[in-house]
Amino acid sequence: MGKFIIEEAKRCLNCKKPMCKEGCPVNTPINEIIEMFLNGSIMECGEKLFENNPLSVVCSLVCPHENQCEGHCILGKKSSPVQISLIENYISDYYLNFNTNKTIKKINKKVAIIGSGPAGITIAIMLATKGYDITIFEALDNIGGVLWYGIPEFRLPKSVLLKLKDKLITMGIKIRPNTLIGSAITIDDVFRDGYKAIFIGTGVWKPRNLGIKGETFGHVHYAIDYLKNPSVYNLGKRVCIVGAGNVAMDVARTALRNGSTDVNIMFREGPESIEAEAIEVEYAKIDGVKFEYFKSPIEIIDEGIKCVKTEIVTDSYGNKKIEYCEFTEEVFEADSVILAIGQGPRSNIVSNTIGINVNGIGLVEVDEVGRTTRNGVFASGDVVTGAKTVVEAVRVSKMVAQAIDEYICSLEE
């Protein structure tokens, strides 16, 4: 692996106008990093990557690179782009093996971070670097949010997240696991205890339902719940997953690795409309996942899913609509059914707090720098935007960290 990475680094043209950097949502200075890497300054590279993106090591594994840095590499026009993700992964993973923390002057001001996903981790690290006294409140027992409880081990090893957790701890960040805010502790309690600002990065963890008969049966599960701990489920051999986004691909590939042998994705449109990244679909096919296109469930029964065939029709305004085809009802047999049709935010915090506005689907309303409608409370990540990506959560959260710092400084003026 090492030689391949060096060879890839040597292919970089160090462009004057690096398109790879422009293609990266957090503008990683890739060409500079690669040059430093080849000159033997791996720790400086690691530091630069970490300071620009505290989740660099995660992004190197899970970003859709083909649409971002690698998709913009000029070499990709004629041959294959530099495999930037592999180089970034090598550097960032190496860097996290060492305690590289600089001595930071503590400023004795507390900030509460609710949720330890990419958004919460980014804010925690950015503010800890400025000397703030940070406490992360996390509802579950491990940190990482979707990184730990959603993205499967074969795509993002837990060892990487444990290194990140060590980093947080060595930076002096306190973590309260198994602490759901909005239950025993409310936002008002946190302010009562002297925290200067509160950040909400609680993501989207409420599965969307189909609202059809049979959804409560014992062999029906929601994707986001299943991925939390797949080994506790007994899915049987034949599984049908409803939905065709990235989450559905993760579920399908996980089910195959956990003993199911006949794993199918049911989608009401055709292959060209699949929402998942092309590479995730390709991997799913390689792993053995089968696709049932133009089918929509109408009821879940003990034997599987009652479904009908669908077709896409275009109305006179050019709008596309999915229609059920008459007399096409059939039973798709399955031992288990997993619904992967999206997630929305839960309301634990906002239903117990006055002054934090949410929109029609429960996402927290913020201004352009992440200020919610309640003074001193900020938010970013999926709980604001709906389901997005890790790098998007990092990009916005960097800005929000800055806004929190400015807000706290303004309290003294």
Distance CA 243, CA 70 (A): 28
Comparing CB distances to ligand FAD, the nearer of 214 and 381 is 381
Q: Is 252 in the site for ligand FAD (CB under 6 A)?
A: no
What end-to-end distance do the CA atoms of the chain give, in Å? 54
Beta strands (DSSP E) in 82-228 are 110-114, 133-137, 174-176, 197-200, 206-207, 220-222
Q: Is 186 in the site for ligand FAD (CB under 6 A)?
A: no
Going by their DSSP bridges, the two strands 377-379 and 197-200 should be labelled as parallel
Burial (Cβ within 10 Å: 0-12, 13-18, ≥19) of residue 173: buried
Q: Is 138 in the site for ligand FAD (CB under 6 A)?
A: yes
DSSP 8-state assignment for residue 26: T
Site string for ligand FAD, 224-243 (x = CB under 6 A): x--x----------------
| Residue of the chain from 46, 54, 81, 150 that contacts ligand FAD (CB under 6 A) | 150
Reduced to 3 states, what is the DSSP secondary structure of residue 6? helix
CB of 407 to ligand FAD, least distance (A): 20
| Residue of the chain from 5, 43, 74, 140 that contacts ligand FAD (CB under 6 A) | 140
Q: Is 118 in the site for ligand FAD (CB under 6 A)?
A: yes
Q: Which of residues 56-95 bind ligand FAD (CB under 6 A)?
A: 62-63
Q: Is 382 in the site for ligand FAD (CB under 6 A)?
A: yes
CB of 340 to ligand FAD, least distance (A): 8
| Residue of the chain from 186, 388, 402, 407 that contacts ligand FAD (CB under 6 A) | 388
Q: Is 181 in the site for ligand FAD (CB under 6 A)?
A: yes
| Residue of the chain from 182, 207, 230, 243 that contacts ligand FAD (CB under 6 A) | 182
Q: Which stretch binds ligand FAD (CB under 6 A): 17-25, 35-43, 175-183, 329-337?
A: 175-183
Q: Which stretch binds ligand FAD (CB under 6 A): 21-29, 137-145, 254-262, 288-296?
A: 137-145
Q: Is 304 in the site for ligand FAD (CB under 6 A)?
A: no
The first and second tokens of residue 301, run together, are 């029964």
Name the residue with tokens 């590279």. 45
Residue of 69, 64, 74, 32 whose CA lies nearest to 51:
32
Q: How many residues bind ligand FAD (CB under 6 A)?
A: 40
Helix residue ranges per DSSP H, 273-347: 278-287
Residues whose CB falls within 8 Å of the CB of residue 113, separated by 6 or more in sequence, listed in order:
120, 123, 124, 134, 135, 136, 137, 199, 201
Comparing CB distances to ligand FAD, the nearer of 119 and 128 is 119
The amino acid occupying position 136 is: I
Comparing CB distances to ligand FAD, the nearer of 52 and 348 is 348
Measured CA to CA in angstroms, residue 244 lies from 151, 248, 329 at distances of: 16, 5, 21
Reduced to 3 states, what is the DSSP secondary structure of residue 195? coil
Contact between residue 287 and residue 253 where contact means Cβ atoms under 8 Å apart: yes
Contact between residue 252 and residue 263 where contact means Cβ atoms under 8 Å apart: yes
Q: Is 389 in the site for ligand FAD (CB under 6 A)?
A: yes
Q: Is 246 in the site for ligand FAD (CB under 6 A)?
A: yes
CB of 226 to ligand FAD, least distance (A): 10
Distance CA 27, CA 29 (A): 6
| Residues at the contact surface with ligand FAD, assessed by CB under 6 A | 62-63, 114-120, 137-140, 145-146, 150-151, 180-182, 201-203, 205, 224, 227, 246-247, 250, 348-349, 381-383, 387-391, 393
